[in-house]
Structure 1
Amino acid sequence: MKYLIYTIVFLAIVFIGISVRSLDHNNLLEGDSGNALIVIAASLCVIVLMSILLISRTIAKKNK
């Protein structure tokens, strides 16, 4: 399970990198730039959620 979580985090980082490349800094909220911002925000949420999951699994193992 731990490797699956790390894989998901890695893919989220890859998506952020791809999305940053497609940003148009003059029109951030129009066209593909708006979609890229949504993907960046969603990827950051995935990273935060996976971090919470890893921490909660670590705490659960310590309480056994």
Structure 2
Amino acid sequence: MNKTFAIVLIILALALIAYNVTLVDFENPIQGDSTIALIGILASLCAIVLTLIFMTSKKIDKKLKK
């Protein structure tokens, strides 16, 4: 996975977070479609964290090979 693909993946995850925030009913966040939106937000945050961990591990690997 190259850096460009990782950045595009992070941008898509941020877009999904923004979309799912619009679906959350903040008065009842645990009922109906709000629950699904909250799960989508958490999944997108996990994708961002995993991508950042992968990018960091690649940087460490390059430094160790030098």
TM-score, normalized by the shorter chain, greater than 0.5:
yes
CA–CA distance in 1 between the matches of 2:12 and 2:36? 17
Q: Give the distance between the partners of 1:29 and 1:2, measured in 2 at CA.
A: 36
How many residue pairs were aligned? 64
Alignment of 1:24-63 (within 5 A): 24-63=25-64
> Shift in Å at residue 32 of structure 1?
1.0
Is 1:17 aligned with 2:18? yes
SS in 2 for 1:63: helix
Moved over 3 A (4+): none
Listed as ranges, the gaps of 5+ residues in structure 1 are none
Identity %: 42
C-alpha distance in 2 between matches for 1:10 and 1:31: 27
User: What is the alpha-carbon distance in structure 2 between the residues aligned to residue 42 and residue 17 of structure 1?
Assistant: 13
Q: Name the SS of the counterpart of 2:61 in structure 1.
A: helix
Structure 2 gap ranges (5+): none
Deviation at 1:52, TM superposition (A): 0.2
